Amino acid sequence: MNVTSLLFLALSLLAALVYHKLPAKWRNAWLLALSAAFLATWSWQFILVLLVFGLINYALGLRIESAQTKKKAWVLLGIIANLGILFIFKYDQFYLPALARLLERMGVQALSDGLKILLPVGLSFLAVQAVSYLVDVSNKRLPAEKDLVKFLIYTVYFPKLLSGPVERARQFLPRLANPLPLDRQIFERGLSLVLTGLFRKIFFADALFRMIPEAAFLTPQGYIGQNLVFWLLGYAFALYNDFAGYTSIVRGVSLWFGIELTNNFNLPYFSHNFTEFWTRWHISLSNWLRDYIFFPLSRGLMRRKTNLANAAAIVVPPLATMLASGLWHGLGWNLLVWGGLHGLYLLGERLIGLVKRPVPLQDQNFIQKTIGLGVTFILTVLAWLPFRMSLPVALQYLEGMFKWVKPDRYLILAYIRQTTPVQSWAPLDLPNPVLLLLLLLAVIFDLLVSRKGQEKELVSFHTLGKVILLVVMLLLLLVSLFADSAAPFVYQGF
């Protein structure tokens, strides 16, 4: 079931009302039943796979807590088990062709789809979430969860199931045990998050994606430079609004159940450096990477107290962390390059900081802030090239972006006067004005909801501003909803 559908939102609100009316002892069972029902709308097999996944981590958590010796060995086993499950289901294209060839040599003929493994939705998010739980239990940051129902809800809670956020058990489980009451304030706040998310997803993300020809990301050499530039900008804002829109919707839905989920985005394209960018983009995963890869690597290298280890402590953690981020998104050279680029960006900032002490953001003047924002934004957008397409195509796209064509002034005038048979905008060698307008509106919207570097929720606006923004959003949403159905969220593919 698509979380942008009115049916999903109406059923979620109805289910939340039932949840708050139930006795406390039945609420968790109701949440687990809802999550299973949501999974079943995708595939009933997902229920079985994620049930086994949850039981394995539940048992491992208990075993790690009770272990008197070899605790680290059990944690390592848990990490290997979770990453192994992720590899088996998510990266089947890596080993299934080789397995099929092996079976053929043995005389076993496999059907074309006979070896295909069905990837459960959200498994990438659930795997890293489970690893954090096991490590935290080992480090005594929280006790192992004894209530199986509560643990399974932590695993498959339906609002965060498809694309996160990556929740820590030590934050989620206490909120599950003490849900907020559904009063008017909570309902309005949840509704404002849902509306903001729908607006970002349907009006910005889906509209921008539709304006980018799919062939441009396959054969970019067939297009002029100015179009390639603005299509890449369109993709950057579409990807952001798509994922931020999803997070906002599910945070609002979860809030109706009294459970606060982590905010995953905070206006990342307003970042002034890459360290700041990764505290604003995919925040829950960024924090996970920082706490479970970056910090342990840094501490481990710094303990050695040698010149080589000190140098490695500067170079290795950012590169390893961002390469791991690339692998989490998928097994491919292009995603490794995307992660490696961001690792190099972060490493470059660290090296510059060693040579020249960085000026705190609050002490920078307007020019310094503008340069930092511009450089960070441009390099981030360019890194989306290997994220979206294979490396050879990304290089072709990058090269094509510099091949601008001078528009034909006479053809443009004839088009305006309607004295030419040209019916579309493309032959004029000009960027689509609707695309430019949407990009401008996306930036304006982010500026409107920005307050002191933080994204403020619609419900926090003054009454007049809230009413005006709400009316405009609803009108544009209605137009977009009737124009086309919402596309799947991009990060459902991860």
Least confident of 187-191, 237-241, 277-281, 394-398: 187-191
Instruction: Note whether residue 494 is domain-resident.
Output: no
The reply to whether 431 and 469 lie within a common domain is yes
Question: Which tokens hold the place of 264?
Answer: 């995953």
Instruction: Note whether residue 492 is domain-resident.
Output: no
The reply to whether 281 and 369 lie within a common domain is yes
Domain count, the chain: 2
Find the domain containing 12 and state its range: 6-179
**Residues contacting 200, CB < 8 A, separation 6+:** 241, 242, 244, 245, 248
Q: Which residue has the higher pLDDT, 222 or 92?
A: 222
For residues 114 and 123, give the distance between their C-alpha atoms in angstroms, rounded to a whole number: 21
The reply to whether 317 and 250 lie within a common domain is yes
Average pLDDT estimate for 416-436: 68
**How many residues appear in the chain?**
494
3-class DSSP state of 454: strand
Instruction: Note whether residue 493 is domain-resident.
Output: no
Average pLDDT estimate for 317-335: 92
445-458 burial by CB neighbour count: b if 16+ within 10 A, else e?
Answer: bbeebeeeeebebb
Q: Mark which of 150, 179, 208 sits at the end of a domain.
A: 179
Instruction: Note whether residue 1 is domain-resident.
Output: no
Q: How confident is the model at residue 102 (pLDDT cuts 50, 70, 90)?
A: low
Q: How confident is the model at residue 62 (pLDDT cuts 50, 70, 90)?
A: very high
For residues 97 and 94, give the distance between their C-alpha atoms in angstroms, rounded to a whole number: 7
Instruction: Reply yes or no on whether the pLDDT at 93 is more than 90.
Output: no
The reply to whether 228 and 377 lie within a common domain is yes
DSSP state at residue 106? T
pLDDT score at 114: 45
Largest pairwise CA distance in the chain: 85
Q: How confident is the model at residue 466 (pLDDT cuts 50, 70, 90)?
A: low
| Secondary structure (DSSP) of 2-53 | -TTSHHHHHHHHHHHHHHHHS-HHHHHHHHHHHHHHHHHTT-HHHHHHHHHH
Whose tokens are 């680029």? That residue is 341
The reply to whether 193 and 269 lie within a common domain is yes
**The pairing of beta strand 450-451 with beta strand 454-455:** antiparallel
The reply to whether 173 and 273 lie within a common domain is no
Question: Which tokens hold the place of 226?
Answer: 């100015």
Q: What stretches of 80-215 adopt beta strand conformation (E)?
A: none
For residues 8 and 13, give the distance between their C-alpha atoms in angstroms, rounded to a whole number: 9
Question: Which tokens hold the place of 148?
Answer: 């199986």
Q: What is the mean pLDDT of the chain?
A: 86
Average pLDDT estimate for 37-50: 88
**Residues contacting 326, CB < 8 A, separation 6+:** 335, 336, 337, 338, 339, 340
Q: Mark which of 179, 214, 245 sits at the end of a domain.
A: 179
Instruction: Note whether residue 401 is domain-resident.
Output: yes
The reply to whether 393 and 438 lie within a common domain is yes
pLDDT score at 140: 92
Least confident of 145-154, 244-253, 295-304: 295-304
Name which of 15, 2, 28, 489 is nearest 264 in CA terms: 489
The reply to whether 475 and 432 lie within a common domain is yes
With contact defined as beta carbons under 8 Å apart, do 490 and 243 qualify?
Answer: yes
Instruction: Reply yes or no on whether the pLDDT at 456 is more than 90.
Output: no
Instruction: Note whether residue 54 is domain-resident.
Output: yes
Average pLDDT estimate for 56-60: 96
Instruction: Note whether residue 491 is domain-resident.
Output: no
Q: How confident is the model at residue 111 (pLDDT cuts 50, 70, 90)?
A: very low
The reply to whether 208 and 166 lie within a common domain is no
The reply to whether 321 and 174 lie within a common domain is no
Instruction: Note whether residue 248 is domain-resident.
Output: yes
The reply to whether 107 and 190 lie within a common domain is no
Q: Which residue has the higher pLDDT, 417 or 258?
A: 258
For residues 264 and 251, give the distance between their C-alpha atoms in angstroms, rounded to a whole number: 10
Instruction: Reply yes or no on whether the pLDDT at 386 is more than 80.
Output: yes
Question: Which tokens hold the place of 126?
Answer: 């659930």
Q: Mark which of 179, 201, 217 sits at the end of a domain.
A: 179
Query: How far is C-alpha 9 from the geometric centre of its chain's CA atoms?
Result: 21
Q: 10 Å Cβ neighbour count for 480?
A: 18
Least confident of 284-298, 391-405, 447-461, 478-492: 478-492
Average pLDDT estimate for 266-274: 95
The reply to whether 146 and 271 lie within a common domain is no
Q: What is the pLDDT of residues 333-347, one digit of tens each?
A: 999 999 999 999 999
Q: What is the pLDDT of residues 228-269, one digit of tens each?
A: 999 999 999 999 999 999 999 999 999 999 999 999 999 999
For residues 270 and 395, give the distance between their C-alpha atoms in angstroms, rounded to a whole number: 27
